[in-house]
Amino acid sequence: MRAAAVRLFLPTVIALSFAAQAAGALLPSVPLLVASTAVGLAADLALHRWQRGMATTLGKLHATVTVRQAVRDLLLVTGLIRIEDQDYETKYMALACGLLIFYALHFASQALAIVVRRSRTLPILTRNIDASPLRLSPAPPALLMRRSGQRLLVFGLPATAGLLVAAIADSGWAAAAGIGLSAVLALAAIAVLAARLRSSRKPVTSEEALEWFESWLAEYQPTVGMYFSGGTSSAYQANMWLEPLARLEGRPLIVLRERFMMRKIASTDIPIVCLPKVADVMRLEQSTLKMLIHPSNSGKTSQVLRIPTIKHAFVNHGESDKLSSCNPYAKAYDEVWVAGPAARERYALASVGVDDKDIVEIGRPQLDVIKPYAGAPTGSYTTVLYAPTWEGWDGNPGNTSVIEAGENIVRSLLADPGVRLLYKPHPLTGSVEPRAGAANLRIQEMIRAAVATRAAEHANERPAASAAAELERRTAELDRLTTSSFRDSADDAERMLLQAVPETGRAAAVAAATAAWETAYWDSFPAWEHLIVTDARPNVYACFNVADLLISDVSSVISDYLASGKPYAVTNTSGLPERDFRTTFPTVRAGAVLTPDASGMPALLESVRNPENDPYAAARTELKEHLLGPSDPPSVVRFNDASRALCAKAEEHRAGMAVRALMAIPSQRDAESPGQRDAETGQRDAESPADNEHVKG
C-alpha cells in the first residue's frame, strides 16, 4: 500500500498543480499561478528522472509530456490575459505564436533524432571485439537522442520562466525573451542532430557491418560458446556460466539476441555478439563454432537449434525437484548436461522424451567459490539466510513460501536475540502473483523495524568509519571494472565503439575486486544487523559463505547450497504431509522441514548451534554427491571433458555432412540415361563434322 502511494505521489502532485494553475489563471491570482506552475514543472522533471515507468503509463493515457507542457504553457498565457492592463491583441498573439514556433521546432528535432538513431542502429552489437573498421563515433547526448520528454521540459524552462516573470512583473519582454531562448535551444538541437547525418559521420551500412562480422568470425574462429535470450530479469542465468565458459578449451563466444542484454552481461574477457534478427543468426552456420551451451529455454532458442553444423547442450541455470528442471523442451538439444545422478533419475521419472544416453553429468562448475562447512557458529550470532524462490508461472502455492509462510518465518527468526537474518528474495518475486509481491514488501518492513530496534540497543557498537570508507573505495574500484560508458549509453553504435577494445585480463581483475568488495561489504555492517539483500551484489553464493543456516523452498538454491555441507531447511507450503513431501522432493531428505507456521524454528536453530544434535549431517554428505556428483574429478574438469566430447561429435557430423553432400551430387554423365548420351553425342557430331572426322582418323 505504501509503495503504491509512493508511485502515485508525483502524478497526484502534477494533477493538483494543473487544477491550482487553472484556478490561478481564472481568478486571476499571480501567487497561485506562479507557485502551482513551479511545483508542477518540478514534479514533472522529477517524474522523468526517477519514475520513467510512470511517465510511460501517463503517456498511454494520452497525458503525454507534450500535452502536459502545452497545457501548462497555455494556462500561463491565459493567466496573463486575465491579469489587468494587458494588451490582448499584441501580447497574446505574440506569445501564442512564439510558443507554437517552439513546439514546432521541438517536433522537428524529435523527428530528426529518430532518423539519426535509425542511421546509427546496426544489425549487430559487440563487446570485447575490435570494431574500429565500422567507423563508429560517439552518439549525441541522450537528452537529444532519446529523452524527448525530458528535452521538452528542459528546453521549455526558459519559456516557462519568462511567462512567470511576465505574470509577476507585468513584462511582456521577459516572456518573449524566455520563449525565444527556448526556440534557440531547439534550433541548436536540430543543428547538432543534422550534423550527424553527414556521410562522413555515418557508420557503415548494415550489409557492410554483417560482412565485417563474417570476416571477424573467419579470423577469430570460435569453437565453443553460450547462447542466451531472455527478459530483463533473467541475465543472472547467463552470468553464472561466464566463468566456467571462460575456462573451457578453445575460443569461446557469447551469442545474445536482445540488445538490452548487452548491458546486463557481467564483465568478461569473452567476445560477445548480439544478433537480434534470426537471418543474421544463421550466419553462424558457416563459422567454425562447434557447440553452444544453453542456460535457459526461450522462444528464440528454436531459431539457433536449426543450425545443423553446431551441437547444442542444455546446461540450465539451476537444478531442483520442480517440474521446470525436467522440461520436455530439453529433448530438442543434442545433449542435456546435469549436475549429478539425481537429475538423470529426474528425467527418467518424468519421461519427457530425453534419452538417458544424451544426459551428461558435469557437476556444477560455478560452485567452486562456495566455502565448506566449518562447524557450529563461532560468533555471538547465528546467521540465517532466508532465500525463498518466486511463485513460478503455474501459480502452484507450493512454489514459494513467501505468501503463506514468509512472515511467520521472519517473525520467528527476528524473535530470537541470537539470530542475524539475511533476507534475499528471488528477483522475480511478485512478477506473476501480486500476493507474493505484497508479502515480500511486508517482510522487508518487518526486518527494517527490527533493525531499528537493535540499532537502539547497540548504539555504541557500530563499525568504525574506516569500514564504510573501505566499502566505498572497493565499490568504486569494482564499478570501474564492471561499469563502462557502454552500460550508460542507449545508443547502439556508441556501445559497439566503447567496447571495441577487448577486456583482456578484466575477468581476473573483476574476480579479485569482487572478493575484496565482499569482504568490505560484510565488514561494513555490525554482526547483529539484519540485512535485506536485493541488489545484484552480493550474489547468493557470497551469502552462502557467511550463512550458518539456509531456509528456502524447493529450488536450485538448495542444490547449490549443498556444496557447502551446511544445514538447511525447506518450507512445506504444498499441503503434502511431511513424509510425502520428502518422497516427492528428494532434495528435502537431508534437511529439516518447516511448516507454514514456522513452529519448528527453535529446534532447528538449536541443532545448528549444537552440531552434535544435527540429525542430517551424514545425509547431507550423501545427498551432495547424489545431486552434484563426485568431487573427483572436479566439476571444472568434467565440464571441459563434456565440451571436448561434444565438439568432437560436431566435427564428426560436419565430416559426415560433407561426404553425404558429395554423394548426393553425382556427375552429370552418371546421372544421364544412355539414350540421352547417344542423342547428345549425335547432336555434337552433326554440329562439328570436321572434328568428328579428325577423331575418327
Residue listed under C-alpha cell 553504435: 493
Structure confidence at residue 664 (pLDDT): 74
Name the more confident of 294 and 324. 294
Please tell me the distance from the alpha carbon of residue 253 to that of residue 637, in angstroms, as a whole number: 20
Asked whether residue 291 carries a pLDDT value surpassing 50, the answer given is yes
Q: How confident is the model at residue 586 (pLDDT cuts 50, 70, 90)?
A: confident
User: CA-to-CA distance for 517 and 648, rounded, in angstroms?
Assistant: 41
Report which of residues 61 and 638 the model is more confident about: 638
**pLDDT over 70 at 34, yes or no:** yes
d(Cα 23, Cα 79) in Å, to the nearest integer? 9
pLDDT digits (tens, 9 = 90+) for 74-86: 888 888 887 755 5
Q: Which pLDDT value is given to residue 37?
A: 92
Query: Is the per-residue pLDDT at 516 higher than 90?
Result: yes
Question: Residue 277 corresponds to which cell in the numbers above?
Answer: 534478427
pLDDT-above-90 percentage for the chain: 54
- Determine the Cα–Cα distance for residues 488 and 484; give it in Å rounded to an integer: 7
Question: Across 470-581, where does the E strand assignment appear?
Answer: 531-532, 549-552, 568-571
Give the best-scoring range by mean pLDDT among 4-13, 53-62, 402-411, 485-494: 402-411
Is 496's pLDDT higher than 50?
A: no
pLDDT per position as a tens digit, 175-223: 889 999 999 999 999 999 998 888 777 778 889 999 999 999 999 999 9
Examine the pLDDT at 695 and tell me if it is beyond 50: no
Q: Are strands 272-274 and 125-127 parallel, antiparallel or unpaired?
A: antiparallel
Average pLDDT score over residue span 627-641: 92
Chain segment 327-358, per-residue pLDDT in tens? 888 999 999 999 999 899 889 888 888 999 99
The SS3 call for residue 314 is strand
Which CA distances in Å does 94 have to 163, 501, 657?
Answer: 12, 54, 77
Collapse the DSSP code of 272 into the 3-class scheme (helix H, G, I; strand E, B; otherwise coil) and give the result.
strand
Instruction: Select from 623, 639, 672 the least CA-distant residue to 343.
Output: 623
Q: Is the pLDDT of residue 409 over 90?
A: yes
Distances from the Cα of 534 to the Cαs of 370, 560, 660, in angstroms?
A: 20, 19, 54
pLDDT, one tens digit per residue, over 257-287 is 999 999 888 878 899 999 999 999 999 999 9
Residues 6+ apart with CB under 8 A from 91: 80, 172, 175
- Residue 406 has a pLDDT of 95
Task: Give the C-alpha separation, 179 to 170, whole Å.
Answer: 16
- What is the mean predicted confidence (pLDDT) over 666-681? 50
- Give me the chain's average pLDDT, please: 86
pTM above 0.85, yes or no: no
For a pLDDT cut of 70, what percent of the chain falls above it? 89
Q: Model confidence at 686, in pLDDT bands (50, 70, 90)?
A: very low
CB 530 within 8 Å of CB 414: yes
Which range is most confident: 106-110, 114-118, 502-506? 106-110
